[in-house]
Structure 1
Amino acid sequence: MAKPMSAAQFAAALRAEGVTVVEVGDWERHNRNHMGPWGPVNGVMIHHTVTSGTANTVALCRDGHSALPGPLCHGVIAKDGRVHLVGYGRANHAGLGDPDVLAAVIAERPAPHDDEASVDGNRHFYGFECENLGDGQDPWPDVQLEAIERVAAAICRHHGWGPLSVIGHLEWQPGKVDPRGFGMDWLRARIADRLKTSKPAPLPKPKKPVVDLSKLVAAARSNPKASGTPVTYGGVRIVEAALVNAGYLSKAYSDGHFGSATVDAYAKWQRHLGYSGSAADGIPGMTSLTQLGRAHGFEVVT
């Protein structure tokens, strides 16, 4: 049982464990605290998303949907091992669960079978959604599994918890199957080994996608939605995904066309950087694009 970390402590703990962190929009203040308390915290809960595509997954976990408002977790662990922070505080991820399981997590002993749903897990657990279809066939890349291990170990290390403080959603709430594709006992064994080390080694640096500035500018200036002539470059999709992650573009407009919605979103990003007037025209330039890439994991070439 512990007081939740501050948002700054949370991000710092993950980075200290070697996790590659992507901060999405106003994640530090995005929460459901108006619906109930956040804390004391007792453990870490792991989920799978039943989605594919990192940009869409991150947007869904940040915003939620009409039946389940976001954030749906604190961090999204993508297939490339990056951890996208989408909210901090109370999040809609755990739901009601078994009080006997919570008691076992607090006591750090093996959890019993979950056969009841009466305790508010959103109050008591850090939650991570892992990008996977959850069908038992979608692969779990090694770099993603290592990121899950590191994330859980980082939180346990900060609070002085052991690996039995980490559970899967399937161990908390009757009828849940996530995470599907690896065993929680297997994961806890890896976490236990990691917690024996005092200086965790960093994760291998993920390969960054590359955006060609000249092609991106051509796409932006063509305004394909206005002209009716689609101009699609791989770089447009990468930049749109970054704008979605940053909270400036709706995922509905992340379509590979640098149309008016994307231009408006990019102009908001420019204004965020301090540009004004004609300088915030929504057309990517080297400085603003490089900064967007640094924040959201891509490189720029000319």
Structure 2
Amino acid sequence: MKAEGLTVHEHAGWKTHNRDAASGRAFGPVIGVLIHHTGSHDDKELCFKGRSDLPGPLCHAWLGKTAGLWMIGNGRTNHAGYADIDVLNAIRAEKPLPHDDVAKADGNDCLYGLEIENRGKGGDPYPAAQYRQAVLWAAAICRAHGWSEKSVAGHKECQPGKIDPSFDMDDFRAAVKKQLAAGPGRTEPTKPAGKPRVDLSRLVKAAKTDPGAKQGHISYLTGTNLTEAALVELGYLAKSHAGDGSFGSTTVAAYAKWQRHLGYTGADANGIPGKSSLSRLGERTGLFTVVA
């Protein structure tokens, strides 16, 4: 990491801080890196110590908004949780990631984890320096293992229901690829963190298909989860009904409430997203942008 150009801070005890003995499982062989946002601020110690329901360490490294990069754990850490085995296999093979619709494999066994200090909501941007350090962290580990940027994934790409990190992972991987090509220690300009993109046509298809499909059917997991997270943030959908990736009847009803709030009536407030209403939902919450 230092060779990549990072300033590295070391939390006391990080070199022996892990969940190996407690879980009875060793860390590795490692196949890739996983990117998270913390969902809060001033949470370095939380990531080191953990919570009452989830013991620390909660990552291998924590990246503050202004505090820089801190080493937190060395070995197995509680950051990835259960992941989709198809996604893990794709990371291992450095192939395009499939939809993460089932979480039965333990990602803590095989993934490095970075927690980035950010609430993950609109109005909480990633400073350019912080985002750049995240790119360097991922590139440093990929370089050490001989991996490409295809070994980098977001938590939202591995575990159903997750929306972190709250920036576009394709943009992030492109920045990692650029850094790997430049070589360690090179200063390469990095574009600012871009918001995730929701494909309107795919979301419309999900809103029309999922309500009548069998329980657990998923048409467009990432876009649905982001839309539901926005509806939850604005109070139109209960959190208990969000995050399963299915644009079901409850989500349709919640989206219709949002449409009526915007002044739509009749067939224009039927819960099927339109470009204007979806764009305004993304802008209002800051969680995503829309592509047609």
TM-score, normalised to structure 1, is 0.60
Q: Residue in 2 aligned with 1:90?
A: 76
Q: Does 1:201 align with 2:186?
A: yes
Given that 2:59 and 2:114 are in contact with CA atoms closer than 8 Å, whether structure 1 keeps it comes out as: yes
Residue 65 of structure 1 and its aligned partner are, at CA, apart by 1.1
Q: Residue in 1 aligned with 2:230?
A: none
Correspondences of 1:151-162 after superposition (within 5 Å): 151-162=137-148
Q: Residue in 2 aligned with 1:25?
A: 12
Q: Report how many residues are paired.
A: 187
Residue 134 of structure 1 and its aligned partner are, at CA, apart by 0.9
2:147 is paired with a residue whose SS is coil
Residues 1:170 and 1:153: Cα distance change in structure 2 (over 3 Å): same
**2:33 maps to which of 28, 37, 44:** 44
Deviations 1:139-174 (A, max 9, x none): 100001100000000000000000010000000000
Residues 1:123 and 1:133: Cα distance change in structure 2 (over 3 Å): same
Given that 1:44 and 1:125 are in contact with CA atoms closer than 8 Å, whether structure 2 keeps it comes out as: yes
Cα separation, 1, equivalents of 2:93 and 2:73: 27
1:15 is paired with a residue whose SS is coil
Given that 1:15 and 1:21 are in contact with CA atoms closer than 8 Å, whether structure 2 keeps it comes out as: yes
Q: Residue in 2 aligned with 1:15?
A: 2
Q: Residue in 1 aligned with 2:214?
A: none
Cα separation, 1, equivalents of 2:17 and 2:188: 27
Given that 2:182 and 2:188 are in contact with CA atoms closer than 8 Å, whether structure 1 keeps it comes out as: no
1:167 is paired with a residue whose SS is strand
Residue 52 of structure 1 and its aligned partner are, at CA, apart by 1.2
2:26 maps to a residue whose letter is P
Given that 2:179 and 2:188 are in contact with CA atoms closer than 8 Å, whether structure 1 keeps it comes out as: no
Residues 1:117 and 1:199: Cα distance change in structure 2 (over 3 Å): closer
Residue 81 of structure 1 and its aligned partner are, at CA, apart by 6.3
Given that 1:31 and 1:87 are in contact with CA atoms closer than 8 Å, whether structure 2 keeps it comes out as: yes
Residues 1:20 and 1:202: Cα distance change in structure 2 (over 3 Å): farther
- For the aligned residue pairs, the C-alpha RMSD in angstroms reads 1.5
Given that 1:81 and 1:146 are in contact with CA atoms closer than 8 Å, whether structure 2 keeps it comes out as: no
Deviations 1:242-292 (A, max 9, x none): xxxxxxxxxxxxxxxxxxxxxxxxxxxxxxxxxxxxxxxxxxxxxxxxxxx
**2:98 maps to which of 108, 112, 132:** 112
Cα separation, 2, equivalents of 1:74 and 1:141: 21
Given that 1:48 and 1:129 are in contact with CA atoms closer than 8 Å, whether structure 2 keeps it comes out as: yes
1:44 is paired with a residue whose SS is strand
Cα separation, 2, equivalents of 1:51 and 1:144: 15
Q: Does 1:69 align with 2:60?
A: no
2:114 is paired with a residue whose SS is strand
Unaligned 5+ runs, structure 1: 1-13, 205-302
Q: Residue in 2 aligned with 1:149?
A: 135
2:2 is paired with a residue whose SS is helix
Deviations 1:120-145 (A, max 9, x none): 10011000000001113211000011
Cα separation, 2, equivalents of 1:75 and 1:141: 18
> Considering only CA atoms, is the larger Rg found in Structure 1 or Structure 2?
1
TM-score, normalised to structure 2, is 0.62
Residue 202 of structure 1 and its aligned partner are, at CA, apart by 6.3
